[in-house]
Amino acid sequence: MQVYCVLGDERVIRSKSPIIFSAVMRRLGIKAAYVPFKIAPDQIAQALESIKVLNISGANVSIPYKEEVIPHLDVLSEGADIIGAVNTIVRNGDLFKGYNTNAIGFMDALNDARFDVEGKSALIFGTGGAARAIVFILNWLRTTSVFVAGRNQEKTGQLADRFGGEAIPLDSLEDRTLTANIVVNATSVSSPDESPEMAVLLEKFKVKDCELVLDLNYDRSKNFWQDIARRNGARFIDGLSTLAYQSRRTLALWTRIQAPPEEFLKAIDETL
């Protein structure tokens, strides 16, 4: 039996990835297990060495380690190298290759929602690995304008400069109205319990011509991104569809099996 895992901080225990991958692999007849591992920031190198020792076949990398894991890998795919973030590790003997399926999974989710971003404007919240993937793919899909909002001005500016976009200090959003056809949350927070400050800020946030709000998080009973969609008469999509599509791409990298998207979407429905 093969074993796969996902590496992350304490939030990894709440991830639906183990349930989804286990269900899909079982239906496809793949004899494998998928388990979550909580690790500390200074344990990344040890965790990868443990993967070798325990003969684990591959791993996902969750927040907040998608960028931090890179120095510990042997080689990167072209996409992971360009984006500068890794969410999938393929093991070949003692060699680790990092991939990024976040970007292509997000594109697949947009296609599934029948939302074409070409010629439209976008606003992305966040500056981490997920945000890097989203900004990259939106520019690749020919989004006309991309705004990147973040707390850390230096990181926000670097991200916007690297992939193309305008950096916006998060606290300036109270004083301006942005035009954005799609708003994407690539931060780790979505509810007032997680960030009261963000909840207050977004209550005052004004956006014009918003058609879709996509939150990469999921399973929030109270969601201030959904509130933004409701106030603007826009569609709201949480991160489960993106998770399904990026998981499908990850499974193909690990096993070379091209599973139908429906298998992953069905597995997600079963968890709800």
Q: Compute CA distances 204 → 95, 158, 177, whole Å.
A: 49, 26, 10
Cβ-in-10-Å burial (0-12, 13-18, 19+) of 58 comes to buried
Cis peptide before 41 (omega within 30 of 0): no
Beta strands across the sheet bearing 166-169: 166-169, 145-150, 121-125, 182-185, 212-215, 235-237
Tell me whether residue 266 is one of the annotated catalytic residues: no
Query: Which one of the listed residues 16, 66, 97, 120 is annotated catalytic?
Result: 66
SS3 content of the chain, % helix, strand, coil (to 5): 45, 25, 35
d(CA 258, CA 261): 9
Active site amino acids: 66
